[in-house]
Structure 1
Amino acid sequence: MGNTLSLIRLALTEFLDNLHTFQTLQARIQRSPGFPLPNPSRSFWSYPPSPIATHVSQLPTHADFIVVGSGITGTSVVRRLLYSASAEGHNVRVVMLEARDVCSGATGRNGGHISPPLYHDYTSLKRDHGQAVAQKIIKLRLAHLEELRSVAEQEGILTESQWREVESVDVFYNSDMFEKAKRKVQAYKADLAFDAEHHEVYEAKEAIEKYRLASDTLGCISSSAGAIHPYQFVTGILAKLLSRYPDRFSLCTNTPCTSISPPTSSNPYYTLSTPRGTITTPHIIHATNGWASTLLEKLRGKIIPFRGNMSAQRPGQSLPVPGSNPTSHRSFVFYTRPIGYDYLTQLPTGEHELMLGGGFAQDGDEGYEAMANTDDTTYSTRTAAHLSGVLPRYFGEDNWGREGVPLEGGEGMWAEGRVKALWSGILGISVDLIPWVGRLPRVVSGRSEPPLSSVVKSEKEEGVHIGAAPGEWIAAGYSGEGMVHAWLSGKALADMVLGREAEGRLGEWFPDIMRVTEKRWKKAKAENLLDALDD
C-alpha cells in the first residue's frame, strides 16, 4: 500500500510539474516577442563587421515598398523587387528597416548550413499533405544549394561568401533512431529517384572508419549539401544593391519599426513609426522571422520565437583540414536523442573553425526554456557547457588529438582555448512546421488595407499599376531551416508583391501550402507542435 501511494504521489507530482511547465509555456508564447535587444551576444560570423554594418540612409517620407528586417529573407525580397522593377522600366523606391546593425538577427547568427532536411521529413510531409506537395517542398529545399551559389556568383561575392558543396553526414548513436532513419531513406529513394544516388547508408564499422568517428557510432547516412558564410553573403549583396541603386534603395540600420498605423480617410497609406521619423507605404513586407508577432499580434502562438545557441571552436590537431583531400569538406548532424541534435560545419579558411550549434535538450526543461525566449544578449550556460565539451566525444579522443592552439598574430578578441566564441540567435518556429509566405489576410494583420489607388504607378503610363493590391506581406517561420527556405521564399514573395506570379512561374516551383490563409491561420495551434516533433 505504501509503495502504491508513493507511486501515485510521484505520478501526481510529475503531472503537476508538466502542467505548470505547459501553462508557463502557453503564457510565454502568447506574449509579444518585443523588439531585438541592444548589444546582442557577439556572433563569430559578424567580425570584422561589414562596412555597411551601421549604414543609415536618409529616411524618405514615402516608399513604394518597405521591408522590415535585413537578414537573408529581406535581402532576397529587396534584390528581387529592384531587379524586376528595373527590368520592366519602373523606378520604384524600396526602404529596408533594421532594428539593430545589418544582418544581426538569425541569419548572422546561424550555423551556415545549406543542408535541407530531406528523407527526415519526407514521410510525414507525404502523409500529411500528399506526395505531390511533399515532393514540391523537398525540391524547394534542394534548389537552395544551387540558387545561393548562383546568386553569389552573379553578385561577384562567391569567394567572400565561402559557398561550398559539402558531404552532409547524419550520425546516429541510438539503434531505434538509426533503424527508423534507414526506413525513411528507403521510402525517400523510392519516391524521389532523381535524388536517390546522393544518399548512402553506412553501418557502424564502415561509418567509424570512413568518417573517423567515436567507437560507439552505430551508423551514418550521407547526402549532398552545402555551406556558406551567411553574414558575408547577405552584407555583400546589400552593399552591391546600395551601390547599384543609390537613389532607389535605402538601408536604415538601428531604425526599428515601432508601430504601424492603418490607412485613414486623409492618408491612403500605412504609416510606419521609427525613432528617426515616420514613413508611408502601400506595401509592408515583414521579414523578421522570430520577431514577426511583435508587429503582427495575431501571429502570436503561430510563429514562436526560439533561442538557439552556436559556437566557433578550434579543431583538434589530428582532424583533417578542409581541402586536404577530396572528401574533407563535410558537415555533420549528430543525433543522440529523439528530440534535438547538434550540427557542425567547418570553415575553409582561417583556423578552420568548427561551427557547432544545437544542444536543444540541454537548455532546461527539455528545451522549453528556449521557447519564446528572445534574449540573444546571452546564451544558455547549460547548452554552452554541452557544446564546449562534446566534440572530442563525437570524433573520439584519438581522432581529435591534441587541442588546437591559436594562430600567432591573431586579433586577440576571441578566447584562446578550444572554444573561441559562444553566442545565441532567435529562430522562428512555425507551429505547423511549414513557413508562412504571402499576403496577410486582414484577420491576421489586424489592420485595414490601403485602397488600390495607392499602388505604385508607372511614370511612363499613368494609371498602369505595378504590383498586387496594397497590403502586408510576410515570409517567416522557417523552424530552424532558414538557409533552405528563406531565399526562395523571399524571391517568391517579391513576385507576389509585384503581381508577377505568372512571370515568375510560382505555380511550377513554389508550394502553395506555404501561403498564408485564414483557414491555415485558424488551424495552426501551438499544442500540435509536440505531436509533429514525435515524427
Structure 2
Amino acid sequence: MGNALSLVRIALAEFLDNLRTFQTLQARIQRSPGLPLPNPTRSFWSYPPSPIAAHTSQLPTHADFVIIGSGITGASVARRLLDSLHGDGHNVKVLMLEARDACSGATGRNGGHISPPLYHDYLSLKRDHGQAVAQKMIKFRLAHLQELRCVAEEEGILPESQWREVDTVDAFYDLELFERAKIKVQQYKADLPFDAEHHQVYEAEEAIEKFRLASDSVGCISWSAGAIHPYQFVTGILAKLLSRYPDDFLLCTNTPCTSIASPTSSSPYYTLSTPCGSVTTPHVIHATNGWSATLLENLRAKIVPFRGNMSAQRPGQSLTAPQRSFVFYSAAIGYDYLTQLPGGECEFMLGGGFAQDGDEGYEAMGNTDDTTYSKRIGAHLSGALPRYFGEDNWGKEGVPLELGDGTEEWAKGRVKALWSGILGISVDLLPWVGRLPRAVSGRAEPPLSSVVRSEKEDGAERLHVGAAPGEWIAAGYSGEGMVHAWLSGKALAEMILGREVEGGLGEWFPDIMRVTEKRWKKAKVENLLDALKD
C-alpha cells in the first residue's frame, strides 16, 4: 500500500509539474513579443556590416506600400513590387521599416541552409492535406534552391552571396530514429519519383566511412541541397534596389513601427507610427516573422516566437572532408544543423540544441531576447562537433589564421562566436501567407478609393494598384525560412498586385499556406505541443 501511494504521489507531482510548465508556456506565448531589442548578440554573418546596414531614407508622409521588416521576406516582396510596377511604367513609393539595422533579424542570424525538409514532413503533409497538396508543398520547397541562385545571378551578387549546391546528410546516432526515417524515405521515393534518385540511404559502416562520422553513427540519409550567406544575399539585394530605384524605394533602418491605426473618415489610409513620425498607406505588409504578433495581437499563440542559437567554429585540422551540410539526430527531441563556409577559415556554422534549454526546449518558446544566448545550448554546441565526427576524425583544434582583412576580432579557440535569433513558429507548422482578414488584423480596411491618386496629388497619373487595400503577411516559417520565405514573399507580392493568374500562383504556390479566418480559428498551440512530442 505504501509503495502504491508513493507511486501515486510521484505521478501526481509529475503531472502538476507538467501542468505548471504548460501554464507558464501558455502565459508566455499570449504576451506581445514586443519590439526587437537593441544591441542583439553579434551574429558572425553580419560582420563586417553591409554599407546599407544603417541606411536611413527620409521618412515620407505617405507611401503606396509599407513593408515592415528587412529580412529575406521583405526583400522578396520589395523586389517583386518595384520591378513589376516599374516594368509597367508606374512610379510608386515602397517604404521599408526596420526596427534595427538592415537584416538584423532571423535572416541575418540563421544557419545558411537551403535544405528543405522533404521526406521528414511528406507523410504528415499527405495525411493532413492529401497526396497532391503534399507533393506541391515539396516542390515549392525544392524550388528555392535554384530560385535563390537565379536571383543572385540577376542582381550580380552571386559571389558574395556564396550560393552553392552541396550534399546534405542526415546523420543518425539513434537506431530507432534511423529506422523510422528509412520508412519515411521509402514512402517518399515511391510517391515522388521526380525526386527519388536524390535520396540515398547509407547503413552504419558505409556512412561512417563515406562521411567521416563518429563510430557510433547508425547510418545516414543523403541528398542534394544548398547553402548561402543569408546576410550578404539580402543586404546585397536591398543595396541594388536602393541604387535601381533611388526615388521610389525608401529604407528606414532603426525606425520601428510602434502602432498601426485603422482608416478614419478624415484619413482613408492606415496610419503607421514610428519614433521618427507617422506615415499613411493603403497597403501594410508584415514581414516580421517572430515579431508578427506585436502589431497583430490576434496572431498571438498562432505564430510563436522561439529563440534559436547559432555558432561559428573552426574545423579540426584532420577534418578535410568536402564541404557539406549536416543535420545530426541523436535524441527523440531536437537536432543540430551544420554548414561550412567556402572561404576564410572555412568555418562550421552550427546551430540547434534547443532541447538542452530546459523543459525539452519549451524555455525557448515565447522568448524574444536575442541580446543573449542560452549558456546551456552554447555549451552543447561548443562541444558537439568532435562527438558527431569522432575525435580521431576531428584531430587537433584549428589554429586561428591571420587573414588581414580588417574584420572584427573573434574568439581564438574552437568557437569563434555564439549568438541567438528569433524564429517564428507556426502552431500548425505551415507558413501564413496572404491578405489578413479583418478578424485577424483587428483593423478596418481602407476604401478602394484610397489607392486612386488624383492628378492633383501626383501631377500625372491615376493609379489603381492591383488588389484592394489591406494588410498582408508572409511569416511563420518554423525555422525553415530559407526554403519558404523568398517564394512566399514573391507570391504575396503577386497577390497584392492582383496578378495571381499572371504570376501562375495556381501552379506553384500551395494554397494551404494562405491566411483564412477558418484556418486562424482552427490553429491551436496545443497542436504544436503535440507535434513536438511526436
**CA 379–126 in structure 1, closer or farther in 2 if over 3 Å, else same:** same
Matched residue of 1:165: which SS? Answer: strand
Q: Which residue of 2 aligns with 1:121?
A: 121
Distance (whole Å) between structure 2 residues aligned to residue 129 and residue 265 of structure 1: 43
Q: Which residue of 2 aligns with 1:507?
A: 506
Q: Which residue of 2 aligns with 1:424?
A: 420
Q: Which residue of 2 aligns with 1:455?
A: 451
Q: Which residue of 1 aligns with 2:301?
A: 301
Farther off after superposition, 289-298 or 82-91: 82-91
What is the correspondence of 1:192-203 to structure 2 with a 5 Å cutoff?
192-203=192-203
Distance (whole Å) between structure 2 residues aligned to residue 348 and residue 418 of structure 1: 18
* Aligned counterpart for 1:444 among listed residues 437, 440, 445: 440
**How far off its partner does 1:381 sit?**
0.4
Alignment partner of 1:153 is 2:153: yes
Q: Which residue of 1 aligns with 2:61?
A: 61
Distance (whole Å) between structure 2 residues aligned to residue 460 and residue 213 of structure 1: 67
Distance (whole Å) between structure 1 residues aligned to residue 324 and residue 453 of structure 2: 49
The 8 Å contact of residues 47 and 408 in structure 2, kept in 1 or not, is answered as no
Q: Which residue of 2 aligns with 1:260?
A: 260
**How far off its partner does 1:532 sit?**
2.4
Q: Which residue of 2 aligns with 1:111?
A: 111
Distance (whole Å) between structure 2 residues aligned to residue 412 and residue 436 of structure 1: 37
Residue type at the aligned position of 1:26: Q
Farther off after superposition, 412-421 or 401-410: 401-410
Matched residue of 1:426: which SS? Answer: strand
Distance (whole Å) between structure 2 residues aligned to residue 198 and residue 493 of structure 1: 30
Alignment partner of 1:413 is 2:409: yes
**How far off its partner does 1:461 sit?**
9.0
Q: Which residue of 2 aligns with 1:469?
A: 468
**How far off its partner does 1:439 sit?**
0.1
The 8 Å contact of residues 457 and 466 in structure 1, kept in 2 or not, is answered as no
Q: Which residue of 1 aligns with 2:171?
A: 171
Q: Which residue of 2 aligns with 1:220?
A: 220
Per-residue CA deviation, residues 167-220 of structure 1 (Å, 9 max, x unaligned), is: 000011111111110010010001110000000000000000000000000000
Distance (whole Å) between structure 1 residues aligned to residue 532 and residue 266 of structure 2: 49
* Aligned counterpart for 1:366 among listed residues 360, 371, 385: 360
Per-residue CA deviation, residues 419-470 of structure 1 (Å, 9 max, x unaligned), is: 0000000000000000000000000000000000012559799556212000
Matched residue of 1:331: which SS? Answer: strand
Distance (whole Å) between structure 2 residues aligned to residue 344 and residue 456 of structure 1: 50
Q: Which residue of 2 aligns with 1:325?
A: none
Matched residue of 1:27: which SS? Answer: helix
Distance (whole Å) between structure 1 residues aligned to residue 464 and residue 63 of structure 2: 15
% identical aligned pairs: 82
**CA 184–308 in structure 1, closer or farther in 2 if over 3 Å, else same:** same
Matched residue of 1:37: which SS? Answer: coil
TM-score by length of 2: 0.98
Q: Which residue of 2 aligns with 1:482?
A: 481
- RMSD, aligned CA: 1.2
Matched residue of 2:19: which SS? Answer: helix
Residue type at the aligned position of 1:379: Y
Residue type at the aligned position of 1:301: A
Alignment partner of 1:329 is 2:308: no
Q: How many residues align?
A: 529
**How far off its partner does 1:9 sit?**
1.1
5+ residue gaps, structure 1:
322-327
Alignment partner of 1:394 is 2:393: no
Superposition misfits of 4+ residues, deviation over 3 angstroms: 409-412, 456-464
5+ residue gaps, structure 2:
none
Distance (whole Å) between structure 2 residues aligned to residue 67 and residue 457 of structure 1: 20
Farther off after superposition, 84-93 or 525-534: 525-534
* Aligned counterpart for 1:380 among listed residues 367, 374, 395: 374
Distance (whole Å) between structure 1 residues aligned to residue 409 and residue 518 of structure 2: 50
Per-residue CA deviation, residues 124-176 of structure 1 (Å, 9 max, x unaligned), is: 00000001110111000000000000000000000000000000000111111
